[in-house]
Amino acid sequence: MAGDPLSPRLRTTLFGLEFANPVIAASGTFGYGVEMAPVVPLGMLGGFVVKGLSREPIRGNPPPRLWETPGGMINSVGLQNVGVRAFVRDKLPLLRGCGTRVIANVFGYEAQDYVEVIRVLEDAEGVDAYELNVSCPNTKHGGMFFSSDPRLLEEVTRGAVQAAKRPVIVKLSPNVARIGEMARAAEDSGAAAVSLVNTFLGLAVDARTRRPRLGAGYGGVSGPAIKPLALRLVREAALAVKIPVIGLGGILTGEDAAEFLIAGASAVETGTATMADPKAPLRIAAELDEFLREQGVERVPALVGTLEWPE
């Protein structure tokens, strides 16, 4: 493995926290971290985001939940999780002292759900920051999505920020017309950073049975096929806000990660790659270190936002 995931070149600081490297394992692809500890040296990661946590346990969607597509996959797990209290009781104690940044992904169906999950986490040790999944239906507003309405996004972000002593990251959906507007809404409401993109809404069909491939019908498309779309949205968000942008979407290599940094991201998350290989974030970080060495870049921040746009 070329490069070193703990190289000084890779150290970066986000919202007041130092990260050993800018490559973070994305939510939903790294379990609660506990499951990966036997196969991945957690202390060598930049960090990881745990599975989304809700007020109460959720069973998730009916199977099948995953389907491979050209250049990626489509998933419909349905936010299955043990619930925030079980996480604090059974999972979090095993993560304390793991040597890397632990970010809790938080979601709900209305603004108060997010607040309640954060309140439970605030009473526990071992979490460094929160990432709000704002792509869940808000049933109090006619089934709209927080991520597609700036006013609703401001409502949930402001509530979470007021409840939290730790930094709040807002994870944005790509299924919107103006990503810059949504990023600014998060920033104006006190978010410490935004992460993007979440999966693209998609559909896989079995032509022979004439039924969807997934048990719940629609699913989220991820993997290398979405990278050009994600890069465009990351650039637009980075141009719109002053807070850090964390980029994700189809990152498989260190050079992929470098592209996101050049487009304006201050750090990246890896998802589908981690599903295929739990050690992928370490490999990607090492490859990024080698890229920086080859390019004569002394530190990650020097690469951020250096895209030269054609006149």
Q: Which residues are catalytic?
A: 136
Within 13 Å, how many C-alpha atoms sit on residue 297's CB side? 21
> Which are the contacts of 109, defined by CB distance < 8 A and separation ≥ 6?
136, 137, 138, 139
Work out whether strand 218-222 and strand 245-247 pair parallel, antiparallel, or are unpaired: unpaired
CA pair distance 191, 237, nearest whole angstrom: 14
